[in-house]
């Protein structure tokens, strides 16, 4: 590494050299750190990637910066699988921690890193700009609640806010299975045990088997990335637990087909039965840039856009009869039950001057419907039964 970079990254005593880069992200209130051989370090500010004024990183630079962050087991996983997820913690002078969710991986034989800064303070629904109906959803006795969205859409933060809502109000046992742990909870009304895959337990399957024997009321299973994970989550819901999980899907209705895609065709009918009777809600989420004024006043550069589908007799019937195409209409008709679609959420954010109109139209699933909604024109719904 050049002398300029070495000087910039001069580390504090007993602290990894890479921490200087993490601290730069913290100082500038960035959300992500990106490191790649051949490029200068970059951070994401208000949703936009920006290069730091530092020389490009060499392969030797990356190895020297990254390897001290790994314990022997993590180094072994990296070499065996080509990638590793872990949490990296930075402490300030007052001992307050900032956590980063890190993915270190090889691309074209060289190391690259993407790290997401996670707020150590668990925000409230109001602080995030989320509807209070999420409190009702988090208070179910049993069933499954799914957070849908792409990577970086704020799903983990929303789940943390929901669990914290329960933690402040109900006496129950919460078990989380995470890879890695992102938010750390302080026991309030609840007893909360957080297990990190690779550190506290060897793998997801083992953790899930253990979880149902640990007298939990609520289980967070993290990302439901395959058939086995979803089946285990569904089994836990069927046996009287409230289960939270995340999945990659673009909307609440499309989440149903995304789940079914995990299973062979001959299992779809049975899975629809399971979903109809155990699913409590799907919350689909995206993050949008806020207006400049909102960002300055609220210190919040991005706000969640949510679509909420709750289970009611109409939604249940549509899932059972394979009429998923009508689920969007059912969401619009479920306003009194706290349901909301992306178009209505966009309208509310624009009216509140939280986001710019241009931003809303960029992501609107149906720009014409949004244009009419902003004019106060609501089209009558056709019958869906």
pLDDT over 90 at 366, yes or no: yes
Q: Are residues 234 and 349 in the same domain?
A: yes
> Average pLDDT for residues 7-24, to the nearest whole number?
74
For residue 3, pLDDT beyond 60: no
Task: Report long-range pairs for 329-335 (Cβ below 8 Å, ≥24 apart).
Answer: 329/381, 329/382, 329/384, 330/384, 331/252, 331/253, 331/307, 332/381, 333/381, 333/384, 334/309, 334/310
Q: Are residues 83 and 170 in the same domain?
A: no
Residue 385 reports pLDDT greater than 60: no
Give the percent of the chain with pLDDT over 70: 94
Question: Of the candidates 100, 118, 136, which is a domain's last residue?
Answer: 118
pLDDT for res 243: 97
Q: Is the pLDDT of residue 5 over 50?
A: no
229 and 335 share one domain: yes
What's the pLDDT at 301? 85
Do the domain assignments include residue 379?
no
Residue 385 inside a domain? The answer is no
- Interval 363-370 mean pLDDT: 95
Residue 1 has pLDDT above 70, yes or no: no
Top-confidence residue, 229 or 10:
229
Based on the structure, what is the number of domains in the chain? 2
Same domain, 44 and 130: no
Using the predicted structure, report yes or no on whether residue 379 has a pLDDT greater than 90: no
Residue 230 and residue 368 in one domain: yes
Examine the domain organization and report whether 261 and 325 are in the same domain. yes
Instruction: Please indicate whether residue 91 or residue 346 has the higher confidence score (pLDDT).
Output: 346
| Residue range(s) defining the domain that contains residue 310 | 125-374
Domain membership of residue 243 (yes or no) is yes
Q: Which residue has the higher pLDDT, 308 or 13?
A: 308
- Per-residue pLDDT at 358: 96
Is the domain of 206 the same as that of 330? yes
Does pLDDT of 6 surpass 70? Answer: no
Listed residues 53, 83, 118: the one ending a domain: 118
Note every long-range contact of 332-337, with CB atoms under 8 Å and residues 24 or more positions apart, other chains counting: 332/381, 333/381, 333/384, 334/309, 334/310, 337/310, 337/312
Question: Higher model confidence: residue 11 or residue 133?
Answer: 133
Instruction: Dump pLDDT digits (tens) for 147-196.
Output: 999 988 999 999 999 999 999 999 999 999 988 787 889 999 999 999 98
Average pLDDT for 62-71: 95
- Measured CA to CA, the distance from residue 168 to residue 31 in angstroms comes to 27
- Domain CATH code at residue 355: 3.40.50.300
Task: With a cut of 60, say whether residue 10 has pLDDT above it.
Answer: no
Residue finishing a domain among 85, 103, 118: 118
Is 207 in the same domain as 100? no
pLDDT confidence of residue 261: 96
Q: Are residues 280 and 231 in the same domain?
A: yes
Q: If you average pLDDT over residues 365-374, what whole number do you get?
A: 94
Average pLDDT for the chain: 91
């Amino acid at each position: 590494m050049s002398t300029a970079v070495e000087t910039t990254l001069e580390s504090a005593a007993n602290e990894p050299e890479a921490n200087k880069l993490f601290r730069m992200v913290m100082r500038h209130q960035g959300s992500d750190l990106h490191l790649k051989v051949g490029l200068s370090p970059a951070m994401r500010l208000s949703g936009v990637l920006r290069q730091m004024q530092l020389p490009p990183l060499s392969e030797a630079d990356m190895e020297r910066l990254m390897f001290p962050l790994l314990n022997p087991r993590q180094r072994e996983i990296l070499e065996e699988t080509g990638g590793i997820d872990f949490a990296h913690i930075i402490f300030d002078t007052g001992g307050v921690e900032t956590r980063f969710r890190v993915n270190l991986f090889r691309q074209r034989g060289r190391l690259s890193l993407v790290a997401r800064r996670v707020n150590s303070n668990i925000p409230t629904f109001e602080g995030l700009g989320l509807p209070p109906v999420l409190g009702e959803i988090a208070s179910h006795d049993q069933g499954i609640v799914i957070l849908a969205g792409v990577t970086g859409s704020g799903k983990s933060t929303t789940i943390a806010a929901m669990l914290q809502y329960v933690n402040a109000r109900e006496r129950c046992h919460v078990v989380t299975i995470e890879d890695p742990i992102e938010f750390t909870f302080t026991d309030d009304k609840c007893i909360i045990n957080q297990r990190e895959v690779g550190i506290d337990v060897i793998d997801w399957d083992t953790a899930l088997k253990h979880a149902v024997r640990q007298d939990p009321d609520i289980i967070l299973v993290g990302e439901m990335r395959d058939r086995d994970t979803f089946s285990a989550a569904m089994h836990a819901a069927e046996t009287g637990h409230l289960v939270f999980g995340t999945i990659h899907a673009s909307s609440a209705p499309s989440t149903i087909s995304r789940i079914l895609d995990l299973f062979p065709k001959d299992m779809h009918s049975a899975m629809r039965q399971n979903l109809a009777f155990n699913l409590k809600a799907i919350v689909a989420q995206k993050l949008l840039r806020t207006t400049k004024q909102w960002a300055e006043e609220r210190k919040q550069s991005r706000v969640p856009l949510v679509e909420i589908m709750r289970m009611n007799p109409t939604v249940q019937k549509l899932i059972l009869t394979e009429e998923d195409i009508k689920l969007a209409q059912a969401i619009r008709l479920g306003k009194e039950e706290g349901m909301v679609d992306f178009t209505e959420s966009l309208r509310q954010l624009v009216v509140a001057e939280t986001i710019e109109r241009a931003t809303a139209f960029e992501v609107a699933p149906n720009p014409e419907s949004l244009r009419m909604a902003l004019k106060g024109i609501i089209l009558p719904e056709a019958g869906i039964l």
